[in-house]
Each structure stands twice: as C-alpha cells, then as structure tokens.
Structure 1
Amino acid sequence: MHLPPIGLGTMGIDDPGAVETSLDVGYRHLDTARIYDNERVVGAGLAASDVPREDVTVATKLWVDDLAPDRVRPATEESLDRLGLDRLDLLYVHRPRGPYDPSATLPALDALVDDGLVSNVGLSNFTVDQAARARDHLDAPVAAHQVERHPLFARNDLLADARANDYPLVAYSPLAGGRVGELPEVRAVANEHDVAPESVAIAWLVGTDGVVTVPKASSRAHLESNFAAGDIDLDADDRARIASIDREQELFPE
C-alpha cells in the first residue's frame, strides 16, 4: 500500500475545519480511530473539502472491545457510518488485546475486504511475533503497521520486520508529545537548518526508508510546518546526531 510520507493524526481534533484545512494544505492521508471519538469530525471535514474522496486515504482502527469476530463487521459498519463513507481505505487492529484471537479476528477482517467494505488491513502496536502470527492468519496482505516512533523511542526490530515483509511503518506521536523541542541534539540540527525542532523530528522519520508519519496539528501554521518538513534533507551527520539520543521513553505503553 502506498501511503503519503506525512499524514494527519487526528487524536484530539474536534473541529472539522482542521481536517478540511489539512486537505487544503496538501495532506492526503487521514488517520483516526473509534477510540478517538472523532470519526464524525474527520468525516465532516472530508465531506466539506473540495479534494476528491478517491484522492484521500482514510484510516481508522478497531478498538480492543470490537475484536471478537462477531463484532468486527458491526463495528466497522458503525465507523463507516460515522465517517460518512461506504468504504475504508485502511482498517487497523488498534491493539492485539481483549478478545483478539488471530485465528478468529483476522478472518473476519478478510471478509470485510472480500465484501468491499475495507480495501486494506493494518496492524497497530503489535510485537514482531504478534505481527508474524497475524500474517499467518490473514489472507489479505498486511498493508501497514502503526507504532509509536520518535527520537525518544524507536523499535528498530519493528522497522526491520516491516521492511522484510514489504509494508510501511506508520509512526504515531512523532513529536514525542512536544518533548522533541527539549532535546539538545534535535535543537542543534534544527538551528543548522533554520527550522523548528518539530520539523526535524518529522524529517528524521520520513527520511528513514519504509517509514511514514501522522503528526497531529490543528492550526494552519502548524499543519503547513509539519507538511513542509518532508522537504528537509538531513545529512548523515544530522541523522547520526539524532541517533545518538540514548533514551527510550515510550509514551503509550501497554
């Protein structure tokens, strides 16, 4: 599956205007989830935009209490209704927890693909072993794996696994909850490029082969700044400086 390098993460966005503005800026990937409680907001912003629906990848996620096989289809139909869509481009298993059973849950997602309700199936917050089991039970290819990734936390085993199995790693929380602006290594690179530290964090991610990212923003200024970060070219020294950060601070552990 082709995903744009920089999409819009929507957790916490409650204004359809922010979604509409993101599309006007140039975003073509909208990432939401049932647990964010804003699928209607994302759908309204998409509907208000002049950008054709077929040009936008819309992704949402099944929360853990929707992973029993008899809940997969009803929950997906409820998300489609809230989004105002008749098809999802990408549907993730948000976390492999609760009633999740790969041998039962994943065939229910395959049925959604077969019936045209979903175009692609993704994983989110899986371990390497869990992802391998998922691939064993899915007929549809895994289209993406969304995980927390930023300069303070990077599971390179998950990136290697995604590369080996030919799907992108989608980095959420790329700005580490605002902490990237406090990191001297990131600030030093930002000063050299005359950009914000947040832009460096995004550029570092999308400059990594096989990684795309979904930063959240709501104001036009921040949407434009995040989107423009894809044009920043970090050299080997820049990347080595960021790689030297030896802390691992996961913001969203199990």
Structure 2
Amino acid sequence: MPVTMPAGKNAKIALVTGGSRGMGRSTVLSLAARDVQTIFTYNSNKAEADKVVASAALAGHRAVALQLDMGQVGSFDAFVEDLRGALDMLHATRLDFLVNNAGMSLHKPFDQTSVDDLDLVFRVHFQGVFFLIQKLLPILNDGGRIINISSGLTRFTSPGISAYASMKGAVEVLTRYLAKELGPRGITVNTVAPGAIATDFSGGIVRDNPELNRQVSAMTALGRAGQPDDVGPMIAALLSDDNRWVNAQRIEVSGGMVI
C-alpha cells in the first residue's frame, strides 16, 4: 500500500475506482492538483498503480492504491476494511467523494453475446457499482459527492456494444434514483458520460487504430478523439464546491460527438 506526503487534517478525501490508468489516473492526479487526497483502486496491475502514487508524490500530494475487482461483490466487505485502514493513514475516518470509474469493455454482436458475457459486464458495471455505493454509504460524509462513469454510447449507438452500453444505461437510471434517495443527506449523484477516449480501454482500439481514430475525429465537432486529460480535470471540477448545485445530471464529455 504505497503512500506519499502527510495529509492535512481538513483535506477532502476521494475514492476513485480504476485509478491506475487512463481517465481514472487523470482523475486521481487532477484531484491531487486541487489538494484532494485520493485512495484509488486497481484490478491487477500494481506496477501501474505505483506509478500513479509516484506521480502524485512528485506533485507533493498523497495517494493510496488498493486492489479491488469490481466484479467480485463478495470481496467488498474486506475491501471496506482495507479502505478504513487507508483512511486512517490519511488521518481521516470518512470519504467526501466517490468516483465509480473502473470497468472493462465487451465488443460482441448481440446475437453472439453469451450468458457469461452479459453476466460479466453486469457484475462489473452495474452490480459492482450498486453494491459498492451501498457498502460505502456509512463512511461517506453528508454533503458528499458521487460520480458514476457512463458512456456516450447510451445516447448514440455503435454495433457490437449492446451489452456494455445497456449496463451503462442502467447506471444512469441508478444515478437519478440515488440523487433522490440521498438528497436528504445533502449528497449529490451525477453521471459523467465520456465519448471515445484514446486510452488502452478495449485494447487501445481508439488510441491505436488509425482508421477508427479518423472516424471518431470526423464525427466529433472538435475534430479529434478525446484524451484522458479531457475528462479527469472535468470530474475533479464537478466534485468541487463550485458545482454543489449540480445533481441527478448526465453530463457528456465528448467534444460534441455525433451531434
């Protein structure tokens, strides 16, 4: 559990799932730039997680990396205990922010998607999000913020991604319900829906496929595919007190894709 600089007693504390790469990494570092202390999760690549911790340290900020498989709900109780330990290291007992970013892709035509395929994306993208939030509610501060990451694919379609996009649609509905149910505690819940982002997601399909990258650029008003740092700073800004009155919203961050 690598850590860096001591946290201030009044620092805000965030948990970012899937924070070792791509948009998650950008979110962790963008929060650090705003003096938010961050605990983030990684699934299997500890080396990449350690790099994020080191990058935060170079900027004089603290980050803690914890392992978590979002598809294994049975491990969540043990994870919460690890999280409590990480909070103690940050001289805190509760979270202020939660960003549900961790995920995986599935590119299969509808008629070739198996029960196991659908079960996997359900467990990672919906069941995991649902029950992680539930487990964390007792240690999320009143007045806190939750951001669930969705996808532009819930607004526009691309063949072969029906299972993944459907789970993201479910997350968007969950977001609105949680905003209502958690409103009495002053907790806001919003969805951020990125467009096509050039990361290693889906095997780097947008980043490493020149033809697909050109197609994405052609259908985007700003004329290019997104980058992780187009999204991470936006998430960090949405978590700030400047956006305290934004609630139950789906905010697309796509550069104007398919408009």
- TM-score under structure 2 normalisation? 0.39
